[in-house]
């Protein structure tokens, strides 16, 4: 299996990323680190522990990371994910503990302890990952196999017309990651909007009949309501789990190598990912960029993950 550290800000779609990473036999989930994004880091950490508890995910350390971006003030996505960051279902007190280490220490110690290179999967703002790269560049070069992140877009944004939320929340961190020289794969909004959680998906989950499946339906129902209210979309895009789906099935998402620049200034465009798909800038490619996805195969992975964990 592919050893993975998931860095997330749960978040409804982050929650499904945890489930897929924990359930799929091709992934070895080594650790979960949390970051401020959809909600404060206290809330995203609590939510990660809630999801692990509900899904029976034991023995995967969960550590809290940065409380905000490397520079400037943080943003949250209360309008999409609610006050808790994971509104919708009721959660009991989580039994999965918070690891006493901070996220950067857990990243470092997990990489050092693992015999081979590890894949980092960030599905929130890139603050933790950038802080780790700044603090331990040698270790990262040696022990990080690749970074497969959800963020950015080849076209429109969602936080602003130009910028996607995860990049808008910490553009400097995103710039550090894209400039790192590491093997970076970007799965952006242009891909995630190809996998809306349509009613048929909720029906399939409902039919599983387990408490976990019920919880997943409640998550997607809430997520669907806010997406309808805020963006007028019929169904919410399932952004984050595309990262893990790409890892377990490399044919699922089409990628192209391209230069990606993060807009750090810009009057109206700070946080935009400027992706040169046509090679007009002459800059060297620094990332693989997702362009298309086999949506039915993606949903099979999600439904199967919820089934497997629900039956454990
Ligand atoms: C990204 O922003 C967050 O709200 C989601 O969890 C996802 O990571 C989509 O723009
Ligand atoms: Ca996220």
Q: Taking the chain (312 residues) in consecutive chunks of 10 residues, what is each chunk's mean pLDDT?
A: 98 98 98 98 98 98 98 96 97 97 98 98 98 98 98 98 98 98 98 98 98 98 98 98 98 98 97 98 98 98 98 92
Q: How far is the CA of 79 from the centre of ligand 1 (A)?
A: 12
| Ligand minimally distant from the alpha carbon of residue 165 | 1
Q: What is the pLDDT of residue 297?
A: 98
What's the complex ipTM?
0.99
Mind giving me the DSSP string for 182-215? S-EEEE-HHHHTTSB--HHHHHHHHHH-SHHHHH
What is the rounded CA–CA span in Å between residue 206 and residue 161? Answer: 35
10 Cα nearest atom in ligand 1: 6
Cross-strand partners of 63: 33
What is the rounded CA–CA span in Å between residue 131 and residue 188? Answer: 22
24 is catalytic: no
Q: What is the pLDDT of residue 141?
A: 98
Q: Is 25 exposed, middle or buried (0-12, 13-18, 19+ CB in 10 A)?
A: exposed
Pocket test for ligand 1, best of 239, 243, 272, 273 (most atoms within 8 A of CB): 239
| Ligand minimally distant from the alpha carbon of residue 156 | 1
| Ligand minimally distant from the alpha carbon of residue 230 | 1
Q: How far is the CA of 21 from the centre of ligand 2 (A)?
A: 14
Cross-strand partners of 177: none
What is the rounded CA–CA span in Å between residue 160 and residue 12? Answer: 20
Q: Is 17 in the pocket of ligand 1 (CB under 6 A)?
A: no
12 Cα nearest atom in ligand 1: 6
Catalytic residue among 24, 81, 136, 239: 239
For 256-284, b where at least 16 C-beta lie within 10 A, e where not — what string?
A: eebbbbbbeeeeeebbbbbbbeeeeeeee
Q: Is 84 exposed, middle or buried (0-12, 13-18, 19+ CB in 10 A)?
A: middle
* Phi, psi angle pair for 287, to nearest 5°: -155, 160
């Amino acid at each position: 299996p592919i050893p993975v550290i998931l860095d997330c800000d749960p978040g409804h779609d982050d929650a499904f990323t945890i489930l897929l990473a924990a359930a799929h036999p091709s992934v070895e989930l080594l650790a979960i680190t949390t970051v401020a994004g959809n909600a404060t880091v206290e809330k995203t950490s609590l939510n990660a522990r809630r999801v692990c508890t509900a899904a029976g995910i034991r023995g995967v350390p969960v550590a809290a990371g940065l409380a905000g971006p490397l520079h400037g003030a943080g943003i949250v996505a209360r309008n999409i994910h609610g006050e808790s960051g994971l509104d919708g279902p009721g959660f009991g007190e989580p039994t999965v503990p918070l690891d006493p280490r901070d996220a950067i220490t857990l990243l470092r110690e997990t990489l050092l302890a693992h015999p081979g290179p590890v894949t980092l999967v960030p599905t929130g703002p890139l603050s933790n990952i950038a802080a780790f790269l700044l603090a331990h560049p040698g270790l990262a070069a040696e022990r990080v196999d690749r970074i497969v992140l959800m963020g950015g877009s080849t076209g429109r944004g969602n936080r602003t017309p130009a910028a996607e939320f995860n990049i808008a929340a910490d553009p400097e961190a995103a710039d550090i990651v894209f400039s790192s020289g590491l093997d970076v794969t970007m799965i952006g909004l242009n891909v995630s909007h190809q996998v809306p959680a349509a009613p048929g998906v909720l029906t399939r989950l409902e039919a599983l009949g387990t408490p976990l499946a019920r919880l997943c339906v409640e998550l997607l129902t809430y997520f669907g309501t806010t997406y309808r209210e805020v963006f007028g979309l019929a169904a919410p895009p399932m952004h984050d789990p595309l990262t893990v789906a790409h890892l377990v099935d490399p044919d699922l998402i089409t990628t192209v190598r391209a230069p990606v620049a993060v807009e750090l200034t810009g009057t109206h465009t700070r946080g935009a990912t400027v992706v040169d798909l046509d090679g007009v800038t002459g800059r060297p490619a620094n990332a693989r960029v997702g362009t298309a996805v086999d949506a039915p195969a993606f949903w099979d992975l999600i439904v199967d993950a919820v089934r497997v964990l629900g039956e454990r």
